[in-house]
Amino acid sequence: MGQAYKKNYQVIPYGRHWIDEEDIRAVVDVLRSDWLTTGPNVSEFEKVVADYVGAEYAVAVNSGTAALHAAMHAAGVGPGDEVILSPMTFAATANCIVFQGATPVFADVEPDTLLVNPAEVASKVTERTKAIIAVDYAGQPCNYYALRKIAKRHDLILVADACHSIGAQLNGRNVGTLADLSVFSFHPVKQMTTGEGGMVVTDRLEFARSIQRFRNHGIATDHHQRLAKGTWLYEMLDLGYNYRITDIQCALGKSQLRKLPGWLKRRREIAGYYDQAFDRIFGLNRLNTRPEVTHAYHLYVLQVDSTKLEIDRDTILKKLRSRGIGANVHYIPAYLHPFYKQHYGTKPGLCAEAESAFKKVISLPIFPQLTDNDLNFVVSSLNKILVDYGKQEKGY
């Protein structure tokens, strides 16, 4: 009942990587090779990810944040521009817009999915709007059909923040093929990991080339290209960054990707277990999954209805953690961070649905190593907390 995790952690975490001997061998092989960075494993990893999602091009970088920043650069976002995004996201989604000197414009979410509401996006478009960033919250793809119509109508670039949703589908189409640019994260709590790392996938060659320069200081050629031409000469065309990823990370990524389908299957099984359990527990509302979606379940999110339970989300969170269950909260609306309030004048009331959800959401542990006993421990512990408050029947 979760005891295996308590031996190594104070709590069962909400997310956890899985590294096996195959992964370790792949990394050790790179450490024994001639290339630790910018070698063959980088392009090989890019190819297998592009093939997996069905995109023409993939460019690997050293974090999901770097991938978001690179996508904004490729989209031509700059000073004076506005980019519309969801507030229910990690700060990096908004920060990447600020990095380019542009202004983030927050559009509210749908209350049942916490995905950005296309009608809200449409209402935020101005003459200064350059792009839309759609956030696949928890691993469910946004309504890209509606968002594409808005983007096409106003000649905007559509970017998928797919950092939660590798392996998800919308009407049978893979995430990675639904927007002009799609961004993945390979942080250890995600569905697969490179330690730290990110990727941008696209079908447009000009975007891919722009990102390749951007990750390498804005330099027009890499050392492989210069070697092939027999020249040392390099030129910096753009202001870029050192966002390169290592061969060590990419070897791990290639090994992890081979196991991703099985891990996604287990995540969906865990979500199904939770769904059945929480449908029987009063006052806990799970998010809606649209029928046309195949969910990737980076997160499993409940909304606590404190008006029915007379116990608030933070009290439940504290009591779960006291029982060794590492529940978490995703997310404080990005515009409520002190930086955005100070520099952009944002304040409560901007996105009512996102703010309401923030007070209710709780993310439960979901990762492939969880056993059925672990899941029963999570569910029964949550039920016991509610029983203690007199708002639930015993005997779950």
**pLDDT tens across 335-372, in order?**
999 999 999 999 999 999 999 999 999 999 999 999 99
- Supply the CATH number for residue 93's domain: 3.40.640.10
Residues 77 and 204 in one domain: yes
Per-residue pLDDT, averaged over 186-211, amounts to 98
Please give the structure tokens belonging to residue 111.
């209350």
Q: Is the Cβ–Cβ distance between 311 and 391 less than 8 Å?
A: yes
Closest CA to 49 of 58, 41, 37, 62: 58
Q: Is residue 394 part of a domain?
A: no
Residues spanned by the domain of 339: 3-12+259-388
Helix axis angle, 247-278 to 40-53, nearest 10°: 30
- CATH classification of the domain holding 348: 3.90.1150.10
Give the pLDDT mean for 302-330.
94
Among 255, 287, 312, the domain-final residue is 255
Q: How confident is the model at residue 392 (pLDDT cuts 50, 70, 90)?
A: low
CB 198 within 8 A of CB 80: no
CA distance 37 to 1: 42
How does the average pLDDT of the chain come out, rounded? 94
Q: Is 235 among the domain residues? A: yes
**pLDDT reported for residue 3:** 46
Q: Is the same domain home to 38 and 175?
A: yes
Sorting pLDDT into bands at 50, 70 and 90, what band is 313?
very high
**316 close to 304: Cβ distance less than 8 angstroms:** yes
Tell whether 355 and 245 lie within a shared domain. Answer: no
Based on the structure, what is the number of domains in the chain?
2
* Catalytic, out of 47, 124, 190, 319: 190
3-class DSSP state of 87: coil
- 152 counts as catalytic: no
Statement to judge: residues 264 and 246 lie in one domain: no
Cβ–Cβ < 8 Å for 351, 106 = yes
Bridging pattern class, strands 173-174 and 293-294: unpaired
CB-based burial of residue 206 (10 Å sphere; 0-12 exposed, 13-18 middle, 19+ buried)?
exposed
pLDDT one-digit tens code per residue, 93-146: 999 999 999 999 999 999 999 999 999 999 999 999 999 999 999 999 999 999
Examine the domain organization and report whether 247 and 265 are in the same domain. no
- Provide CB contacts within 8 A for 91, sequence distance 6+: 334, 337, 339
Tell me if 246 is assigned to some domain.
yes
For residue 284, give the 3-state DSSP assignment: strand
Give the end of a domain, one of 207, 228, 255: 255
Please report the pLDDT score of residue 8 as a whole number. Answer: 55
Tell which of 255, 287, 308 closes a domain: 255
Identify whether residues 246 and 268 lie together within a single domain: no
Question: What is this structure's pTM?
Answer: 0.95
Percent of the chain topping pLDDT 90: 89
364 and 297 in one domain?
yes
Please work out, in degrees rounded to the nearest 5, the angle formed at the alpha carbon of residue 172 by the alpha carbons of 171 and 178. 75
